[in-house]
């Protein structure tokens, strides 16, 4: 796969770093032409720790956790925020989520193991996945997780059998596919009808399955779940999903005489990847979802359920940046200018996968206007290996430190070792201090599993 053809008429925007607005982590500043985050000089940090390097602004990350929790609690007392750990996961982010009173969404045994390794309370863990293995289900149930989000009838039978064998009653949610077409990339849309996730509403299948769920021994139907997709800007999609779900709750009450106590509306709030993106705020998202649940429950005369949301990207994406060193420069006349960095699709697959957009700056020229249009390509043996396609950048020189913003979600967790590339370290910065929370992989790590 090659890159999309360059738009040669595109003009550099002349913006400097501090013009990038919502893309920046909250403590970003420029001092003497250098980019600082959390009071730490990104150029010095890159020299000390090497590149490629994931850096997180801890104040930004914790601030968003607090903002989410407070935005929901202040509007809807019986609510909880579940951090979707697939967006970015290591032990330290789990400790932060614990401390901030969040719950945790894990998508399988590996994510659960990380939560357990730091003693995250099992009852605050929500287990997802469309094909959790029997082993993963057993690990989760014996760990005492709070809720298992059941994705199919086959899985219902498995959960019921395993819980019975372990002598427990497991609280479960049914994941419903609400048929809402969220306005986002087709690959990250999950609530539409053609989806591998959840119980479909087509031919009233989900409703009919409630019979099986209520009859299954050793499980208790605690709630319903939906997740309509990711990177969603249009808040009305969340209102539509809430409407479908509350109507479904009303049907279950009327048809089965069963009151659903909890409603999990998933994650999906979009964020600013470029300075031109205008995402909704956490407060607006909370306002729309809380009001929707209240309104539709009122219409159906239903008591308000416990309300849960599962943000991933909107908690961590803008807190994270990636630092690289410029290694090679190549100008192809009439085609594009390549700036090759010491990472690429191994630390950020999103550009190759979705043609995702990112804003880059040169950290050692951060106060200068971005006067060129460049493609930041990676070091991998793949033509489609790019981090940034046709975006403005300050004039690049060999050895410059490039900072790509908005890489905190689905970069580290989707990283690979393609071409034997060790995965980058993760550093948290705060109040002028940098601490490594995940060390860089070594060559030894790469082959440690081989005989």
Task: Calculate the alpha carbon distances from 438 to 127, 443, 445 in Å.
Answer: 24, 16, 13
Task: Calculate the alpha carbon distances from 362 to 18, 276, 319, 392 in Å.
Answer: 12, 19, 18, 10
Q: How many residues bind ligand LYS (CB under 6 A)?
A: 6
Q: Where in 222-241 is the site for ligand PLP (CB under 6 A)?
A: 227, 230
Which residue's structure tokens are 């999906």?
A: 268
Compare residues 368 and 413 and give the one whose CB is closer to ligand LYS: 413
Give yes or no: 381 in active site.
yes
- Is 382 one of the annotated binding-site residues? yes
Helices (H) and strands (E) in the chain, counts: 12, 21
Cβ–Cβ under 8 Å, residues 440 and 422: yes
Residue 428 binds ligand LYS (CB under 6 A): no
Residue 267 binds ligand PLP (CB under 6 A): yes
In sequence order, the β-bridge partners of residue 436 are 427
State in Å, rounded, how far the first CA of the chain is from the last one. 34
Compare residues 36 and 410 and give the one whose CB is closer to ligand LYS: 410
Residue 407 binds ligand LYS (CB under 6 A): no
Cβ–Cβ under 8 Å, residues 264 and 78: no
Binding segment for ligand PLP (CB under 6 A), chosen from 274-282, 290-298, 306-314, 326-334, is: 306-314
Residue 440 binds ligand LYS (CB under 6 A): no
Binds ligand LYS (CB under 6 A): choice among 147, 350, 365, 423? 350
Cβ–Cβ under 8 Å, residues 71 and 282: yes
Residue 128 binds ligand LYS (CB under 6 A): no
- Is 270 one of the annotated binding-site residues? no
Residue count of the chain, please give it: 451
Residue 312 binds ligand PLP (CB under 6 A): yes
Residue 25 binds ligand PLP (CB under 6 A): no
* Residue (of 364, 375, 343) closest to 440 by Cα position: 343
Annotated catalytic residue: which of 114, 226, 381, 403? 381
* Residue (of 92, 28, 24) closest to 435 by Cα position: 92
Cβ–Cβ under 8 Å, residues 120 and 142: no
The two tokens of residue 404 are: 């790509």
- Find which of ligand LYS, ligand PLP, none residue 350 binds, CB within 5 to 8 Å per kind: ligand LYS
Binds ligand LYS (CB under 6 A): choice among 62, 188, 329, 446? 188
Q: In angstroms, give the least distance from the CB of 195 to ligand PLP.
A: 11
Q: Which residues bind ligand LYS (CB under 6 A)?
A: 86, 188, 230-231, 350, 410
- What are the residue numbers of the active site? 381
Annotated binding site: which residue ranges? 268, 310-313, 350, 354, 382, 410
């Amino acid at each position: 796969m090659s890159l999309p053809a360059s738009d040669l008429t595109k003009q550099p925007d002349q913006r400097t770093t501090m013009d990038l607005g919502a893309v920046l982590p909250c403590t970003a500043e420029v001092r003497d032409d250098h980019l600082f985050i959390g009071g730490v000089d990104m150029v010095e940090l890159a020299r000390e720790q090497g590149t490629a390097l994931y850096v997180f602004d801890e104040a930004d990350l914790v601030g968003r956790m607090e903002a989410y929790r407070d935005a929901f609690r202040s509007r809807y007392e019986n609510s909880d925020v579940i951090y979707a750990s697939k967006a970015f996961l290591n032990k330290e982010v789990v400790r932060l989520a614990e401390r901030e009173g969040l719950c945790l969404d894990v998508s399988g045994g590996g994510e659960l193991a990380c939560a357990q390794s730091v003693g995250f309370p099992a009852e605050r863990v929500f287990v997802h996945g469309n094909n959790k293995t029997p082993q993963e289900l057993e690990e989760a149930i014996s760990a005492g997780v709070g809720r298992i989000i059941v994705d199919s009838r086959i899985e219902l039978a498995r959960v019921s059998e395993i819980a019975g064998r372990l002598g427990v009653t497991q609280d479960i949610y049914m994941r419903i596919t609400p048929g809402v077409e969220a306005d986002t990339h087709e690959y990250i849309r999950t609530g539409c009808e053609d989806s591998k996730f959840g119980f479909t509403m087509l031919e009233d299948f989900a409703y009919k399955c409630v019979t099986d769920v209520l009859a299954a021994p050793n499980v208790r139907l605690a709630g319903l779940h939906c997740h309509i997709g990711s990177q969603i800007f249009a808040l009305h999609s969340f209102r539509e999903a809430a409407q479908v779900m509350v109507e479904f709750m009303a049907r279950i009450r009327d048809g089965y005489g069963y009151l659903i106590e909890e409603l999990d509306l998933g994650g999906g709030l979009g964020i600013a990847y470029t300075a031109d993106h205008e995402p909704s705020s956490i407060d607006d998202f909370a306002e729309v979802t809380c009001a929707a649940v209240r309104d539709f429950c009122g219409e159906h005369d239903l008591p308000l359920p416990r309300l849960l949301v599962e943000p991933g990207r909107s908690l961590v994406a803008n807190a994270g940046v990636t630092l690289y060193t410029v290694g090679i420069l190549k100008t192809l006349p009439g085609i594009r200018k390549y700036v090759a960095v010491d990472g690429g699709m191994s630390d950020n697959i999103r550009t190759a996968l979705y043609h995702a957009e990112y804003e880059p700056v040169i950290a050692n020229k951060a106060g200068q206007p971005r006067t060129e249009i460049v493609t930041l390509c990676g070091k991998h043996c793949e033509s489609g290996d790019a981090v940034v396609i046709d975006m403005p950048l300050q004039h690049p020189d060999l050895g410059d430190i490039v900072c790509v913003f908005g890489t905190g979600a689905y970069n580290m967790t989707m990283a690979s070792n393609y071409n034997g590339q060790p995965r980058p370290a993760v550093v948290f910065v705060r109040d002028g201090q940098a601490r490594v929370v995940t060390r860089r992989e070594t060559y030894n790590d790469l082959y440690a599993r081989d005989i």
